[in-house]
Amino acid sequence: MLVDQATNHYLTPLDMKHLNITAAFLLLMAWLALCSYSYMYRRIVVTLFAPENTVSFRYTTRRAEFNMREEVSWKTGERKYATIEAHFNRYRQCHPTTADTVLYRTFRKDAWQFWNWFAFFTHPRYKLPYIDPATVPQSPRTIPPGICPEEG
């Protein structure tokens, strides 16, 4: 039998059960803290609670001359927004006479997604103007691949 040092009383089996449940809960919290940056944590928790990983981040110009989806790195689970910027800059270099030079995001900033609030104010993807995907014409060709005509 164990004795509670604070009260000098013996611990009953029910007290021991509560201690075991508390210890198991603390171990679970410690495990979550330790693996917070691990692959499994990102795959489980981020997929369940961050719709950022389930939403298709699509970018387009008003006339859909440039249309691209942000890819996800399967090794890190992170998105590659820099790829979008690089392809769009290359598109503008290869098509200097086009009037379609503004890049739009086709996904909304949902205010109820409080876990994305920080990204809404800091990530460059959310600084792009929004365009309703229904108003963008369907383009028979999308850029990339072969951003420049001589490449495609």
Q: Within 13 Å, how many C-alpha atoms sit on residue 84's CB side? A: 21
Q: Degrees (nearest 5) of the Cα angle 136, 138, 142?
A: 105
pLDDT at 112: 84
pLDDT at 36: 56
User: How many CB atoms sit inside 10 A of residue 88's CB?
Assistant: 20
The rounded distance, in Å, linking the Cα atoms of 137 and 116 is 29
Q: Which residues are registered as beta bridge partners of 78?
A: none
pLDDT at 128: 93
Residue 39 pLDDT more than 70?
no
| DSSP annotation of 38 | S
Higher-pLDDT residue of 149, 21 = 21
pTM: 0.58
pLDDT at 107: 87
Average of per-residue pLDDT across 14-36? 72
pLDDT at 147: 63
The rounded distance, in Å, linking the Cα atoms of 109 and 135 is 18
pLDDT tens digits along 101-152? 899 999 888 888 787 888 889 989 899 999 998 888 876 555 555 566 665 4
pLDDT at 152: 47
Taking CA atoms, 81 is separated from 2, 36, 78, in Å, by: 58, 23, 9
- Please name the residue that has the structure tokens 């999308």: 142
pLDDT tens digits along 70-104? 876 656 666 678 888 888 998 888 888 888 889 99
Residue 24 pLDDT more than 90?
no
